[in-house]
């Protein structure tokens, strides 16, 4: 029996004051299986959590939260590439720093992204011209019901923009235990985004790319160690070229990013900023004054404060641009993940 709930505040970057019936740190696959089955046998909800960098607990969790800390990095190489087998509980940014330190190149554009390695394939994390799909070779998945694991090659993961098979088919009862990365030894810098365009592809070094990316993210995004947040709250919408052209005709300065599919990605931060919502506050939650895409825990915000604010932001953008933003953050109720769009509707 559990006599009292335990605080989740220190295990999420939003730092919303919520609790869970039980919190257990997981350092091995065997422990993960045991604890998951114990929770299921108690007929309690169970949630596997990395570093809590992309979740909003709507209320206290009525079951067990398993903190994934399964670690380990194994590097192999041949004449063409490096291969990294990485435990899902490793910190992503520390992995990027590790690779750079050991002369393994190709992850620099993905520096300073919050969260664990195991979270990377779920939403196909990406930044500054590179996404996880580009560096992924495989993902190892554990079936918690059968205690057997299987390997999905990158093409089997159905990666999309902030999307993958892990959001759909393998959402519950499965756990990512490791990922395999493959990085080409012939380094090809990606310098198409932000201040990276200032760098010369002929003279640039991986360390320079890493430093520029870290600097850009620190300037644009509030430090979650100082101000609670989950980074980008909404996804950048992808629309048809016809729809994008229509909005562009009304707002010529709107940034657009053509996609290989023929569709166009829009900047959610720009859309929100165009509605003059920076600094808008409800209760203890606010739209960040520097980056409109970020909702911050300004002063002991409750999850309800965040929901009300996010709903208002979403409605304002829809009213002005006839476009509904989708949350990037995962919403967790007392018994598990719920549909974020339905919560905000």
Catalytic residue ranges: 162, 232, 328
For CA atoms 57, 60, 61, 64, the dihedral sign is positive
Q: State phi, psi for 142 to the nearest 5 degrees.
A: -105, 125
The string of DSSP codes covering 239-304 is: E-HHHHHHHHHH-TT--EEE-TTS-EEE-HHHHHHHTT-TT-EETTEEE-SS-TTEEEE-SS--HH
Q: Distance between CA 12 and CA 35 in Å, rounded?
A: 21
> How many CB atoms are located within 10 Å of the residue 305 CB?
21
Select from 199, 195, 235, 197 the least CA-distant residue to 218. Answer: 195
* Residue written as token pair 């939650």: 285
CA dihedral 205, 206, 207, 213 (to 10 degrees): 110
Q: Distance between CA 127 and CA 231 in Å, rounded?
A: 12
């Amino acid at each position: 029996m559990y006599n009292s709930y335990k605080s989740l505040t220190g295990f999420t970057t939003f730092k919303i004051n919520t609790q869970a019936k039980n919190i257990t740190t997981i350092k091995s696959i065997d422990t993960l299986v045991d604890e998951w089955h114990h929770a299921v046998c108690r007929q309690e909800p169970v949630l596997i959590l990395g570093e809590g960098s992309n979740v909003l607990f709507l209320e206290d969790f009525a079951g067990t939260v398993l903190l994934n800390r399964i670690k380990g990095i194994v590097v192999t190489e041949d004449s063409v590439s490096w291969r990294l087998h990485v435990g899902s509980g490793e910190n992503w940014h520390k992995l990027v720093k590790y690779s750079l330190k050991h002369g393994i190149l190709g992850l620099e554009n993905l520096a300073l992204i919050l969260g664990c390695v195991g979270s990377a394939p779920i939403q196909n994390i990406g930044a500054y011209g590179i996404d996880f799909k580009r560096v992924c070779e495989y993902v190892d998945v554990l079936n918690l019901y059968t205690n057997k694991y299987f390997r999905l090659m990158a093409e089997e993961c159905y990666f999309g923009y902030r999307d993958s098979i892990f959001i759909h088919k393998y959402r519950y009862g499965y756990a990512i235990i490791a990922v395999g990365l493959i990085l080409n030894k012939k380094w090809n810098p990606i310098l198409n985004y932000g201040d990276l365009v200032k760098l010369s592809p002929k003279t640039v070094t991986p360390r320079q790319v890493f430093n520029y990316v870290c600097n850009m993210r620190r300037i644009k995004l509030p430090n979650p160690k100082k101000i609670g947040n989950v980074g980008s709250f909404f996804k950048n919408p992808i629309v048809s070229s016809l729809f994008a052209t229509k909005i562009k005709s009304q707002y010529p300065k709107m940034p657009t990013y053509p996609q290989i599919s023929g569709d166009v990605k829009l900047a959610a931060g720009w859309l929100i900023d165009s509605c003059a919502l920076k600094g808008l506050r409800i209760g203890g939650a606010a739209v960040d004054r520097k980056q409109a895409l970020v909702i911050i825990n300004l002063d002991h915000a409750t999850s309800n404060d965040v929901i009300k604010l996010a709903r208002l932001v979403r409605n304002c953008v829809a009213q002005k641009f006839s476009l509904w933003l989708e949350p990037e953050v995962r919403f967790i109720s007392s018994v598990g993940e719920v549909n974020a769009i339905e919560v905000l509707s």
